[in-house]
A and B are shown apart, each in its own frame.
Chain A
Amino acid sequence: MWLQLIQDPNLRWILLGSIFLGLSSGVIGCFTYLRKQSLLGDAVAHSTLPGVALAFMITGSRNLWGLLLGALGTSLLATFLISYVTRKSRIKQDASLGIILSVFFSLGLMLLTIIQHSSRGNQSGLDKFLFGQAASMVRSDVNTIVIVSIFLLFICAVFFKELKLLCFDFEFAKGLGLPVILLDHLIMLLMVIVVVTGIQIVGVILMVALLITPATAARYWTDKLHVMVIISASFGVISGAIGTLISANVRNLPTGPVVVLIAVCLFVFSLLFAPKRGLVVKLLLRKKLRFLQQNQLLQQELEMEAKHEY
Chain B
Amino acid sequence: MKSPLKVKNLTVAYEKKTVLKNISFEIPEGKLIGIIGPNGAGKSTLIKSILGLVPSLTGTVEIYGKIPKMQRNLIGYVPQRESVDWDFPTDVLDVVIMGQYGHLGWFKRPGRQEKELALNCLKQVGMDSFSNRQISQLSGGQQQRVFLARALAQKAQLYFMDEPFVGVDAVTEKTIISLLNDLKEQGKTVLVVHHDLNTVKEYFDWVILLNEELIEIGETKKVFTKAYLQKTYGGKLMMLDAD
Direct contact of A and B (CB under 8 A): yes
Q: What is A's interface to B at a CB cutoff of 8 Å? A: 90, 285, 289-290, 293-294, 297, 300
Bound together, the chains give a CA A51 to CA B58 distance in angstroms of 58
Q: Is B9's beta carbon under 8 Å from chain A?
A: yes
B136 within 8 A of A: yes
Whole-angstrom distance from the CB of B214 to the nearest CB of chain A?
Answer: 14
For B87, give its contact among A90, A293, A294, A297 (CB under 8 Å): A90
Name which residue of chain A comes closest to B86, CB basis.
Answer: A90
What are 12 A-B contacts with C-beta separation under 8 Å?
A90-B87, A90-B136, A289-B13, A289-B16, A289-B57, A290-B57, A293-B11, A293-B57, A293-B58, A297-B22, A297-B58, A300-B22
Q: A90-B87, A90-B136 are in contact. List 14 more A-B contacts (CB 8 A).
A: A285-B16, A289-B13, A289-B16, A289-B57, A290-B57, A293-B11, A293-B13, A293-B57, A293-B58, A294-B58, A297-B9, A297-B22, A297-B58, A300-B22
What are the residues of chain A within 8 A of B16 when measuring CB–CB?
A: 285, 289
- Encoded as 1 (CB less than 8 Å from any A CB) or 0, chain B from 163 to 193 comes to 0000000000000000000000000000000
Expressed in whole angstroms, the minimum distance between the Cβ of B64 and any Cβ of chain A is 26
Q: Kindly supply a per-residue 1/0 record for chain B positions 1-34, scoring 1 wherever the CB is within 8 Å of any chain A CB and 0 otherwise.
A: 0000000010101001000001000000000000
Measured CB to CB, the nearest residue on chain A to B9 is A297
- Count contacts on B: residues with CB < 8 A to the other chain: 9
CB-based nearest B residue for A301 = B9
- Determine the chain A residues whose CB is within 8 A of the CB of B57 once the complex forms: 289-290, 293
Chain A residues, Cβ within 8 Å of B136: 90
Q: How long is the Cα–Cα vector from A104 to B128 in the complex, in angstroms?
A: 46
Chain B, 74-96, CB within 8 A of any chain A CB: 87
How far apart sit A290 and B11, CA to CA, in the bound complex (Å)?
11
Q: Which residues of A contact B13 (CB under 8 A)?
A: 289, 293
Contacting residues, chain B, for A90 (C-beta < 8 A) = 87, 136
Nearest to B13 among chain A residues (CB) is A289
Q: How far is the CA of A289 from the CA of B13 in the complex (A)?
A: 10
**A90 vs B16: C-alpha distance when bound (angstroms):** 37
The B198-231 residues at the A interface (CB cut-off 8 A) are none
Q: Which of B141-161 contact A (CB under 8 A)?
A: none
Hey, which chain B residues are within 8 Å of A294, CB to CB?
Answer: 58
Chain B nearest CB from A72 CB (Å) reads 34
Determine the chain A residues whose CB is within 8 A of the CB of B11 once the complex forms. Answer: 293
Whole-angstrom distance between the alpha carbons of A134 and B22 in the complex?
60
Within the complex, the shortest CB–CB distance from B143 to chain A, in Å, comes to 16
A175 to B104 Cα, complex, angstroms: 52
Kindly state the separation between the CA atoms of A289 and B11 in the bound complex, as whole angstroms.
12
Complex Cα–Cα for A290 and B50 (A) = 19
**Nearest CB in chain A to that of B57: its residue:** A293
Distance in angstroms from A287 CB to nearest chain B CB is: 12
Query: Across the interface, which residues of B come within 8 angstroms of A293, CB to CB?
Result: 11, 13, 57-58
Complex Cα–Cα for A294 and B57 (A): 9
The CA-CA distance from A246 to B16 in the complex, in Å, is 43
- Closest approach, in angstroms, between the C-beta of B118 and any C-beta of chain A? 25
Residue of B nearest to A285 (CB): B16
Alpha-carbon separation in the docked complex, A300 to B9 (Å): 11
Q: How near does chain A come to B154, taking the closest CB pair, in angstroms? A: 29
List the B side residues contacting A289 at CB < 8 Å. 13, 16, 57
Q: Give chain A residues whose Cβ lies under 8 Å from the Cβ of B9.
A: 297
Q: How far, in angstroms, from A285 to B13 measured CA to CA in the complex?
A: 13
Which chain A positions have C-beta within 8 A of B87?
Answer: 90
Least CB distance from B117 to A in Å reads: 30
Report the bound CA distance from A293 to B9 in whole Å.
11
Nearest residue in B to A90 (C-beta to C-beta)? B87
Shortest CB distance A151–B (Å) = 40
